[in-house]
């Protein structure tokens, strides 16, 4: 396996650790230190663009907290004081920890003792001097925010100055069923989104794909824009919207039916969202 980090190599095993892995992130714009709770490749959704091998439906296994702490301490020291950047051939302008991101091979909030895990990561990263200078991010599909343990974890994340990147790939039930294979209704998802914004600064992350060469339909765009108007009227304080398209090959059965959307389409849609008053970023 290549030891060169690129924006298209997001292997969870590249550093040889169980829970901690490095990523050159398009959205973060530099080195992101990933935390993977879903070491069993289990998720409660099955997004058609997902690059996780042997993905299965389920929850994250219990965490070995001592191992998580040991790995994170070791890795942060290696990045800050070792020859990590040289070994992985990271360009000089990317030699900065942009964030610590809880994001792995499934839905991270499905793990038992989620709040305890967030607190541990925050404590270790703060002691190492990484936080609060770097961002602390939870990347989530948001489907479990209604659970009290997840809400507690979001409050802990907020206490460390963190933020939530909440997945919303489609604003229609049909689109969610197609793209995310989610049984959760759009209504429930939006209720969780609103709750998330009350507990911790929250941004939307939206992956737009060209499925069967349909492009981005007028109906999907209108539904997304209408949803943003609706949640704004309800007092939902989103910190931004992040639009992107696929960069790595899907390992799901629909892979050969997926293509990237053009940068032009992403930028045009981003401008429509900006007209509603939202800060919008585009990654390609």
* CA–CA gap between residue 174 and residue 137 (Å, rounded): 29
User: What is the separation of C-alpha 42 from the centre of its chain, rounded to a whole number of angstroms?
Assistant: 15
* CA–CA gap between residue 131 and residue 112 (Å, rounded): 24
* CA–CA gap between residue 261 and residue 245 (Å, rounded): 6
Q: Give the three-class secondary structure for 61.
A: coil
* CA–CA gap between residue 99 and residue 108 (Å, rounded): 17
> Given its phi and psi angles, is residue 4 left (phi above 0), alpha (psi -120 to 50 degrees) or beta?
beta
* Mean pLDDT, range 230-236, rounded to an integer: 94
pLDDT in tens, 120-141: 999 999 999 999 999 999 999 9
Q: Six-digit token pair at 91?
A: 């360009």
Domains and CATH numbers, the chain: 20-283 (3.20.20.70)
Quick one: 226 exposed, middle or buried, by C-beta within 10 A (0-12, 13-18, 19+)? exposed
Q: Which segments within 29-74 are labelled E, that is strand?
A: 30-35, 42-43, 56-57
pTM for this model (two decimals): 0.93
Identify which of 24, 26, 29, 31 has the alpha carbon closest to the alpha carbon of residue 10.
24
pLDDT in tens, 139-164: 999 999 999 999 999 999 999 999 99
Q: How confident is the model at residue 270 (pLDDT cuts 50, 70, 90)?
A: very high
């Amino acid at each position: 396996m290549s030891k060169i980090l690129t924006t298209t190599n997001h292997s969870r095993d590249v550093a040889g650790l169980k829970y901690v892995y490095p990523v050159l992130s398009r959205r973060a714009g530099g080195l992101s230190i990933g935390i993977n709770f879903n070491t069993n490749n289990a998720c409660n959704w099955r997004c058609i663009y997902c690059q996780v091998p042997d993905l299965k439906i389920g929850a994250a296994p219990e965490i070995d907290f001592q191992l998580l702490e040991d790995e994170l301490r070791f890795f942060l020291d290696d990045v800050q004081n070792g020859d990590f950047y040289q070994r992985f051939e990271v360009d000089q302008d990317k030699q900065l920890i942009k964030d610590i991101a809880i994001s792995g091979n499934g839905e991270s909030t499905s793990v038992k003792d989620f709040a305890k895990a967030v607190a541990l990561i925050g404590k270790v990263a703060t002691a190492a001097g990484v936080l609060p200078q770097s961002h602390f991010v939870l990347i989530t599909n948001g489907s479990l925010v209604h659970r009290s343990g997840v809400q507690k974890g979001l409050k802990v994340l907020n206490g460390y100055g963190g933020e939530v990147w909440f997945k919303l790939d489609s604003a229609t039930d049909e689109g969610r069923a197609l793209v995310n294979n989610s049984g959760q209704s759009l209504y429930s998802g939006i209720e969780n989104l609103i709750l998330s914004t009350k507990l911790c600064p929250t941004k939307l992350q939206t992956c737009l794909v060209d499925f069967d060469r349909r492009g981005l339909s007028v109906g999907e765009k209108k539904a997304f824009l209408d949803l943003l108007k609706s949640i704004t009227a309800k007092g939902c304080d989103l910190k931004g919207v992040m639009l992107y398209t696929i960069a790595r090959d899907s390992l799901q059965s629909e892979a050969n039916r997926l293509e990237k959307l053009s940068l032009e389409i992403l930028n045009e849609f981003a401008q429509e969202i900006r007209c509603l008053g939202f800060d919008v970023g585009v990654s390609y």
